[in-house]
Every structure is written in structure tokens, then in C-alpha cells.
């Protein structure tokens, strides 16, 4: 430490001591001055060791500021807090630049990434939502701490805002980023959690046990339908591409459609309750025709996947035991259509008891879900 800085520190301490009447004194004469100085000292709940205090003091007297030194210290502590040595976590696979730009968000998403990487994540029942509500609270805490928007908005809006930040951080809005397996897993996790957050917001809207039971019945019917459709669609992609590596790319790029479609179905009802208003854009498709279109897409997908008599490559593929996969897909098609109808019925029962005014208008949102799933089949399997 230079002599000039040492002299400055001693002079500064002498001024403080003299203005306070000496540390530890009880003179009422100097009590007001003492309170003012104490307010400037670090709180007891945030202790600093002597080395940290000396570094801050030197920076403050020199060219820097105490705020800059504090921010740097907190960033180093945050980076040390999370273990980045586990290959099972997101932190390990995150680019160092992205991590350094927002370590708190990366650590928050690490939990979601691990859930998404778990094969049982997509099949969880409505009764296993405790983790989701706890995670919503963590995300909302991050939203408020970072001041990403108005604090008065719903939890679902806060969740969507934070997930949008994660899309920006990892470049997930670019479909080509899904070629990276970790990005594909994270994108799927974000979409799935958006769906869970929408359900929790819908739960909070319920005013009676009858409404909540109807909502949970719709959710459970959807989970069965969505899970079976996901398997059916995946197998169709494999059959269409003869098991080639392109199948993985297609599956990664389209897997988020299913949970996003369901979350978007809930959004108008959530917004209506939050804003106490309803607007009709005049769009939509009759549910009956959306169902029929979805069923036809399922049937056409199977027909397109199997044409062994005209293509040697296809014939060889099926001769290698893959005919079993085709037969499985054919059976799945009937089950998917049955589960789709059960979900539609459960959805209609929810709309009958929903707290949303004029809820019958939201039947068209059920149609939109079926149309998005139909389009998912068309784009993935090139149905003509």
C-alpha cells in the first residue's frame, strides 16, 4: 500500500471518529451523528472479512467505486456457488460467455433441464405438481429481482417472461439451435414447464371443487392423449425416414409443439380472468371438423409410411423386422383417435363449469390444438 493511500485512510478514520465522538461512546450530544454514520456501515447480516473491507476502501478512495467492487465479488461468489462439473446439468454444457452474462438464470434453468432430461417428466400426473408450484415461485422471485416487468402481472406472465429470456440466452428461437442436443432438451423443458405454469394459473382461477375436478380431469385426459400421440408421431417419423439420422433432427425440431399448443389453449381464459374482458377475433374452426381432419391425418400418416411393394429401400427396411413397428403404429393410430375424443369430451365438461364468462366460445381453442397436431404430422411426414 502506498504512503499516500495510507495517509488518506488514517485521515479519513480520524474524521469519522471525531465526528462520532469516538466509537462506543454514549454521549447524547453525538447520538445523531453516530446514527448517520452507522447507517452507512455494512449491515451485520452481511459480514465482510477484513481483507474484503480493505479492498473496497482502497477502491473507493482511488478511481473505482464500492458498488463495482461489490458487484464483482457477488459475481465470483455466484459462479462458485453452482457445481459445473456434473455432465447431467445444464451448467456443464453452457457456453462460458452465456454463463458469465447471466449465471443466475443458467442456474435457475439447470433445475428445469434436469427435469426435462428425465424420461418420466412428460408423463407426470396432475397430482405431482408440487415441484412445479415451487419452481414457479423461484421463477417469479427471479422475475421480481431482475425487474423484468410489472410486479402486478400474473405468475404465468412472469414465467413466460423468464422463459423468453432463456430463449434469448441460448438462441432457442432459431430452429437450427435444436441440432445441439442440450438445446433441444432445454427447449422441451421450457415448453413443458410453460404448460405446467398455465395449469397452475388455471387452478388458481377455480372457485369451487367442481371446477377444479373438471380441470384436473381435462389435464389427465390430455396427458394420456399427448403421451400416446407423441409416441405415435415419433414412430411415424422413424418409419417415414427408414430410421435415418434425419429422424432425430425432425423430432427435436417439432417436440415442443405438443406442450405449447396446450398452453396456448389456456391463455385466452387466463387473460380473460386477469383483464376481465373478452374479445372475439372471429376466427376458429368448428370442433367437429377439426376432429375429423385430425383423424384423417392419422390415417394418412400410416398409409404413407408403408409402401413396401414399390421401393426396394423400403422393402429392405421392413424385411429387417421393422414390420413390427409398422403394426404397432397402425394400432396406435386407433388408440390416439380414441384418446383424442376422450380429451375433447373432458375439455367440454370443463368449459361447462368454467369460471370464465361465455366459456362456450373457447371450444374453438380445442380445435386449434387438434389443428396444430395435424400440422405437426403433415410437416414431419410430408402428407400430401
Angle at 255 between CA 212 and CA 148, to 5 degrees: 65
Could you tell me if 192 and 241 lie in one domain?
no
Q: What are phi and psi of 309, to 5 degrees?
A: -80, -10
pLDDT > 90? residue 73: no
pLDDT > 50? residue 40: no
Task: Give CA–CA dist 119/329, Å, rounded.
Answer: 21
Could you tell me if 174 and 111 lie in one domain?
yes
Read off the pLDDT of residues 284-315 as tens digits, 9 standing for 90 and up.
Answer: 678 999 999 999 999 888 777 665 444 566 66
Give the residue from 151, 179, 205 where a domain finishes.
Answer: 205
Could you tell me if 232 and 316 lie in one domain?
yes
Tell me whether residue 310 is in a domain.
yes
Q: Which long-range contacts (CB under 8 A, 24 or more apart) does 336-342 make?
A: 336/225, 336/228, 336/229, 336/232, 336/298, 337/294, 337/295, 337/298, 339/221, 339/224, 339/225, 339/228, 339/229, 340/225, 340/229, 340/291, 340/294, 340/295, 340/370, 341/291, 342/221, 342/224, 342/225
pLDDT number for residue 279: 52
pTM value surpassing 0.75: no
Could you tell me if 231 and 281 lie in one domain?
yes
Task: Give CA–CA dist 174/246, Å, rounded.
Answer: 18
pLDDT > 70? residue 1: no
pLDDT number for residue 229: 96
Could you tell me if 229 and 193 lie in one domain?
no
Task: Give CA–CA dist 177/168, Å, rounded.
Answer: 11
Q: Which domain holds residue 47?
A: 3-70
Read off the pLDDT of residues 127-174 as tens digits, 9 standing for 90 and up.
Answer: 568 888 999 999 999 999 999 989 889 999 999 999 999 999 998 887
Could you tell me if 259 and 337 lie in one domain?
yes
pLDDT number for residue 352: 92
Q: What is the mean pLDDT of residues 273-294?
A: 72
Give the residue from 41, 70, 99 where a domain finishes.
Answer: 70
Which has more pLDDT, 5 or 132?
A: 132
pLDDT > 90? residue 222: yes
pLDDT > 50? residue 340: yes
pLDDT > 60? residue 259: yes
Could you tell me if 98 and 187 lie in one domain?
yes
Residue keyed to cell 415448453: 191
Tell me whether residue 84 is in a domain.
no
Tell me whether residue 168 is in a domain.
yes
Tell me whether residue 79 is in a domain.
no
pLDDT number for residue 258: 95
Give the residue from 174, 205, 236 where a domain finishes.
Answer: 205
Tell me whether residue 135 is in a domain.
yes
Task: Give CA–CA dist 133/156, Å, rounded.
Answer: 11
pLDDT number for residue 44: 31
Tell me whether residue 81 is in a domain.
no
Q: Which residues contact 223 (CB under 8 A, 6 or more apart)?
A: 123, 124, 125, 126
Domain total of the chain: 3
Tell me whether residue 77 is in a domain.
no
Amino acid at each position: 500500500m502506498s504512503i499516500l493511500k495510507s495517509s488518506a485512510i488514517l485521515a479519513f478514520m480520524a474524521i469519522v471518529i471525531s465526528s462520532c465522538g469516538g466509537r462506543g461512546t454514549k454521549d447524547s450530544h453525538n447520538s445523531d451523528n453516530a446514527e448517520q454514520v452507522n447507517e452507512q456501515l455494512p449491515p451485520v447480516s452481511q459480514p465482510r472479512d477484513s481483507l474484503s473491507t480493505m479492498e473496497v476502501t482502497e477502491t473507493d478512495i482511488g478511481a473505482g467505486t464500492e458498488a463495482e467492487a461489490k458487484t464483482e465479488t457477488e459475481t465470483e461468489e455466484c459462479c462458485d456457488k453452482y457445481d459445473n462439473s456434473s455432465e447431467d446439468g445444464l451448467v456443464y454444457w453452457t457456453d462460458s460467455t452465456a454463463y458469465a452474462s447471466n449465471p443466475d438464470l443458467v442456474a435457475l434453468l439447470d433445475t428445469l433441464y434436469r427435469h426435462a432430461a428425465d424420461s418420466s417428466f412428460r408423463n407426470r400426473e396432475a397430482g405431482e405438481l408440487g415441484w412445479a408450484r415451487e419452481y414457479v415461485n423461484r421463477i417469479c422471485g427471479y422475475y421480481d429481482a431482475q425487474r423484468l416487468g410489472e410486479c402486478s402481472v400474473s405468475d404465468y406472465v412472469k414465467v413466460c417472461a423468464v422463459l423468453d429470456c432463456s430463449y434469448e440466452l441460448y438462441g432457442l428461437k432459431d430452429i437450427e439451435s435444436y441440432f445441439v442436443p442440450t438445446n433441444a432438451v432445454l427447449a422441451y423443458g421450457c415448453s413443458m414447464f410453460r404448460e405446467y405454469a398455465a395449469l397452475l394459473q388455471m387452478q388458481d382461477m377455480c372457485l369451487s371443487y367442481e371446477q377444479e375436478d373438471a380441470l384436473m380431469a381435462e389435464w389427465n385426459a390430455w396427458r394420456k392423449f399427448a403421451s400416446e400421440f407423441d409416441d405415435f408421431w415419433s414412430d411415424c417419423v422413424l418409419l417415414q425416414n427408414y430410421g435415418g439420422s434425419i429422424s432425430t433432427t425432425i423430432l427435436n425440431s417439432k417436440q415442443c409443439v405438443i406442450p405449447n399448443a396446450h398452453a396456448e389453449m389456456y391463455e385466452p381464459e387466463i387473460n380473460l380472468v386477469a383483464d376481465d374482458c373478452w374479445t372475439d377475433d372471429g376466427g376458429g374452426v368448428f370442433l367437429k371438423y377439426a376432429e375429423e381432419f385430425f383423424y384423417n391425418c392419422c390415417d394418412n400418416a400410416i398409409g404413407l409410411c408403408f409402401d413396401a411393394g414399390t421401393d426396394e429401400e423400403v422393402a429392405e427396411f421392413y424385411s429387417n423386422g421393422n414390420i413390427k413397428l409398422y403394426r404397432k403404429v397402425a394400432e396406435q393410430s386407433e388408440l390416439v383417435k380414441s384418446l383424442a375424443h376422450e380429451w375433447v369430451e373432458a375439455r367440454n365438461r370443463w368449459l361447462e363449469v368454467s369460471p370464465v364468462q361465455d366459456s362456450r366460445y373457447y371450444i374453438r381453442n380445442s380445435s386449434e390444438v387438434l389443428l396444430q397436431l395435424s400440422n405437426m404430422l403433415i410437416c414431419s411426414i410430408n402428407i400430401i
